[in-house]
Amino acid sequence: MENSKNQIIANRKRLFSHPDWNSYKFQLQNRIKAKDLENFFLLNPEEKEGIENSIRLNVGTTPYYLSLSDPFDLNCPIRKTIVPRKEEAIFSPEESIDPLHEERLSPVKGLTRMYKDRVLLFSNHECSVYCRHCMRGRKVSYSSEKPTVENLNECLTYIEGNSDITDVVISGGDPLNLTDGKVDYILGKLEMIPHVKICRIGTRNPVTLPMRITSNLCKIIENHNNDSLSIFCNTQFNHKKECTKEAKEAVLKLIKAGVSVGNQCVILKGINDNGETMLALHQKLLEMRVRAYYMYDPELIPGSRHFRTPFAKGFEILSYMRGKIGGMGIPQFVTDLPGGGGKVTMTPDWYLGFHRQTRYHLFQSAMAGTYHISPEPVGSPYDSTYKEVDPKLWEKVYSHVSKV
């Protein structure tokens, strides 16, 4: 029998008032699974179908992250991140289980090498929350993908044997779902490899399980964050509802351990795919001392067509944000090229071209929409390399253009 609104409210109140609420172990041990969602949401038919038929990723959320969601609002951004919808059961023709070819670019199991100087280390197969837009549904939440100690040591041996690798991204799953001892072990091994200078921890726990950022964990990270190894943290806040007091406390603990925290959001249809929502998110992030890093175009993973947006949405968002927030709050809009081509930066076209006769470049202000010119240096050998400005546009705007 389906739970009533009153029952759902009572179930939530009982869970959220548990005396061990602030323990990350309680949060992990009491993750809400697919069969439990009806106790905490008034589900509609599309969600029930999604829960039953999801094709690529298990369902799970911490009680904490659940508490950020609305049990009765189908448009709640957190709810859309937690609860599958029927579209997730559709494998569209353009989609791929591994669109970035991470497995093909894996020299040893558990390691992807797409760039000469960087590798991606898959340290874990578990996450605190299995976000419905997750690009690694082929790996996370399934015990068959759990890296063994032997796998991990093979990866570390490979890194040690390739001196051009200077930067290691630790990902998963979520690496901070590992025990403190395992985190200490991995960071200690990387610290001992002379050519590894940078370590980036990719974790969503500041968003989905801020209780995991304990004083002991931060002490471990701080011990390895030294002259030999510089440690950074990149997380993923996608909506301002995720920017809670608890999340800010977790971020500040990492910062006090000497770790710079950056954010890599994903543009998600119906969640954050407009300028106002993205601006509000990044304003909150700056208040939390989190710098914008990337804004991703969603990957072509199975069952994700309902999350994806046109490229133009990214340009619209950046154009809207420019002039309304400081530069450190504006992310780079990037897409990870299918087939293992790596990341490319996408930008709105604020550069309109070069007028060869006057040797001026023409720009349009992202902030005001006005036109502006800037001269090419005298003696520059690059005149012929610039795209030529549209003659009709130049004739139209030149007499009104903002000059020095």
Three-class SS string for the chain? CCCCHHHHHHHHHHHHCCCCCCCHHHHHHCCEEHHHHHHCCCCCHHHHHHHHHCCCCCCEECHHHHHCCCCCCCCCHHHHHHCCCHHHHCCCCCCCCCCCCCCCCCCECCEECCCCCEEEEECCCCCCCCCCCCCCCCCCCCHHHCCCHHHHHHHHHHHHCCCCCCEEEEECCCHHHCCHHHHHHHHHHHHCCCCCCEEEEECCHHHHCHHHCCHHHHHHHHHHCCCCCEEEEEECCCCHHHCCHHHHHHHHHHHHCCCEEEEEEECCCCCCCCHHHHHHHHHHHHHCCCEEEEEECCCCCCCCHHHCCCHHHHHHHHHHHECCECHHHCCEEEEEECCCCEEEEECCCCEEEEECCCCEEEEECCCCCCEEEEECCCCCCCHHHCCECCHHHHHHHHHHCECC
Contact 139, 122 (CB under 8 A): yes
* Residues with Cβ within 8 Å of residue 17, at least 6 apart in sequence: none
pLDDT at residue 54, rounded to an integer: 83
pLDDT at residue 34, rounded to an integer: 94
pLDDT digits (tens, 9 = 90+) for 153-191: 999 999 999 999 999 999 988 999 999 999 999 999 999
With 0.75 as the threshold, say if the pTM is over it: yes
pLDDT at residue 56, rounded to an integer: 74
- The mean pLDDT of the chain is 94
pLDDT beneath 50: ranges in the chain? none
Give the rounded percent of residues in the chain with a pLDDT score beyond 70. 98
pLDDT at residue 140, rounded to an integer: 82
pLDDT at residue 98, rounded to an integer: 87
pLDDT at residue 369, rounded to an integer: 87
pLDDT at residue 194, rounded to an integer: 97
User: Where do the structural domains in the chain lie, given as residue ranges?
Assistant: 5-86, 351-400
